[in-house]
């Protein structure tokens, strides 16, 4: 027996997981409303089948044989890393009761449907019982996985291995210290004009331009597609079938533009994974039972935030692409030049909606959610009291009054899908994106010129070489050390924000 024999077994497990992912994609894009209950059962069944296949004696037998056959290879060889990650996934799932796993998978579809309805009605009470069960199941999962300092640590470690409540607290403290003076200075400065962003933008034309943006930065539509949804997401079945979604509010153009760039960044990661890893342990997260090539959620978010913000919100980007946008919306953008548009989409204005937040206030949304999730898990906050706690935190951090549940506690899809513990990965992604971009500029001579000229291939190629191709072979910090010489470091992120916004607003941090 060889490593290839193991890959055949793991490929079959990956097939089950990707089949489940197809059902998830369908449930969020095309499924009729009455399909919800049965869909939840279907996804739960596939999740259980995958877990049972992973933990079966046959998988362990093939693992042992592959271990012996590859013992001569270095520890960081793809084969050795694949074996180690598979063993870790098996050990994790053997600690999780089958009934808990099944119920969590089953709840996702019904809870998501309840969230969509509650969000439309701005009625938290309609979603409350589903969230109460989701939180209770998350506590059971944390206990099953095991924790010492805080139950939240167990859940953070699933999407972002190595992070804890304490490590996040230290990271958040440094980011607050770094950007709070800048935010104060920018908030006191004259705001740019943004009224034209709220004009009436027909959905079909938004979709047309969204596709144009995705193709422009490298998204391969022969291996992907773009569809509308309530909350944007990317999903990968294999590197040759990576799908993205966005939303098209008729009266707020940036949502579709930057939502598409964000999800395209995720898709570029998946489309760039080494083809040799397809269906195997380096393109499958056996810990979370998810077919994904990214090594952590934070690493994935680094790619979406890099393309959305460092590229997509840059002055050079809109100097090149604004004309094509204005050609599609000549009336809505009449009298607006590319500089005015660039300033508008980079305006700093505390808002209620995370996915529409500017770069300076975005991380406050994340820190708020992490704080709330931690309290829900340790029991110091009850689900029934969540709207009040949310509204008070928004007032404290952003100075805003929350008018309704839709724009408050019901705005994110994550809790309806059971993803408690994942919000921190967005800020980790912001930090990692700045670190990678700084390194790319140091290592790629002429990168800024290529971006000015609209040639995104050099940057995409560097990311493919340093991040995408490796799939799950290296840890997040290993990737960062290989690419930048250091592990996760918030200083390049703080430097990036400071340079960008002092130039845009002509201010000095106070």
What residues are annotated to the active site? Answer: 263
Between CA 373 and CA 215 the distance in angstroms is: 37
Alpha carbon of 363 to those of 3, 316, 425, 435: distances in Å?
43, 25, 11, 16
Give the list of residues 6+ apart from residue 20 with CB closer than 8 angstroms, or none: 43, 46, 47, 50
Q: How distant is the alpha carbon of residue 19 from its chain centre?
A: 21
3 state DSSP class of 157: coil
Closest to 135 in 3D by CA, of 337, 359, 420? 420
Q: How many CB atoms lie within 10 A of CB 48?
A: 18
Contact between 372 and 137 (Cβ < 8 Å): no
Contact between 115 and 129 (Cβ < 8 Å): no
Which residue blocks in 122-253 are alpha helix, DSSP H? Answer: 124-145, 151-156, 165-188, 203-216
- 226-228, strands of its sheet edge to edge: 226-228, 241-246, 234-238
Residues in the chain, overall count? 510
Q: How distant is the alpha carbon of residue 154 from its chain centre?
A: 19
Radius of gyration of the chain measured on its C-alpha atoms: 22
Token pair of 301, please? Answer: 């978010």
What DSSP assignment string belongs to 312-339? TTSHHHHHHHHHHHHHH-TTTTTT--HH
Count Cβ neighbours within 10 Å for each residue of 434-444 and write b for 16 or more, e otherwise. Answer: bbbbbbbeeee
């Amino acid at each position: 027996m060889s490593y290839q024999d193991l890959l055949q077994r793991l490929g079959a497990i990956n097939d089950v997981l990707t089949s489940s992912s197809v059902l998830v994609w369908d449930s969020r894009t095309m499924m009729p409303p009455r399909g919800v209950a049965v869909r939840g059962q279907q996804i739960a069944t596939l999740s259980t089948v995958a877990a049972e296949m992973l933990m079966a004696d046959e998988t362990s037998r093939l693992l042992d044989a592959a271990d012996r056959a590859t013992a001569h290879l270095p520890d960081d060889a793809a084969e050795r890393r694949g074996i180690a990650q598979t063993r870790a996934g098996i050990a994790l799932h053997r600690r999780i009761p089958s009934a808990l796993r099944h119920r969590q998978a089953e709840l996702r579809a019904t809870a998501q449907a309840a969230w969509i309805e509650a969000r439309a009605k701005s009625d938290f009470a309609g979603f409350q019982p589903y969230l109460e069960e989701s939180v209770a199941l998350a506590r059971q999962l944390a206990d099953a996985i095991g924790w010492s300092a805080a139950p939240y640590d167990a859940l953070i470690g699933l999407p972002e291995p190595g992070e804890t409540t304490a490590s996040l607290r230290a990271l958040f403290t440094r980011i607050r210290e770094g950007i709070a003076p800048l935010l104060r200075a920018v908030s006191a400065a004259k705001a740019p004009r943004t009224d034209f962003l709220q004009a009436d933008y027909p959905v079909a034309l938004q979709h047309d331009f969204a596709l144009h943006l995705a193709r422009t930065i490298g998204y391969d539509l022969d291996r992907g597609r773009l569809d509308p949804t309530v909350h944007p997401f990317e999903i990968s079945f294999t590197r040759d079938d990576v799908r993205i979604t966005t939303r098209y509010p008729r009266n707020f153009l940036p949502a579709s533009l930057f939502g598409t760039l964000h999800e395209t960044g995720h898709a570029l990661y998946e489309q760039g994974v080494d083809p040799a890893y397809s269906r195997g342990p380096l393109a499958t997260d056996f810990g979370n039972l998810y077919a994904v090539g990214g090594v952590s959620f934070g690493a994935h978010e680094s790619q979406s935030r890099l393309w959305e913000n460092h590229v997509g919100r840059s002055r050079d980007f809109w100097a090149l692409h604004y004309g094509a946008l204005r050609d599609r919306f000549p009336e809505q953008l009449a009298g607006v030049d590319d500089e005015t548009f660039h300033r508008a989409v980079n305006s700093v204005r505390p808002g209620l909606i995370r996915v529409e937040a500017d770069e300076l206030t975005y991380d406050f949304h994340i820190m708020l959610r992490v704080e709330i999730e931690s309290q829900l898990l340790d029991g110091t906050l009850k689900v029934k009291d969540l709207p009040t706690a949310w509204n008070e935190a928004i007032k404290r951090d952003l100075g805003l009054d929350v008018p309704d549940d839709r724009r408050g506690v019901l705005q994110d899809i994550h809790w309806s899908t059971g993803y408690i513990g994942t919000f921190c990965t967005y800020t980790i992604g912001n930090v990692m994106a700045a670190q990678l971009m700084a390194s790319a500029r140091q290592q790629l001579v002429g990168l800024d010129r290529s971006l000015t000229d609209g040639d995104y291939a050099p940057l995409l190629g560097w990311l493919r070489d340093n991040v995408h191709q490796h799939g799950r072979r290296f840890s997040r910090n290993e990737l960062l050390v290989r690419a930048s010489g250091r592990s996760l470091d918030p200083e390049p992120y703080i430097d990036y924000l400071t340079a960008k916004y002092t130039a845009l607003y002509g201010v000095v941090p106070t």
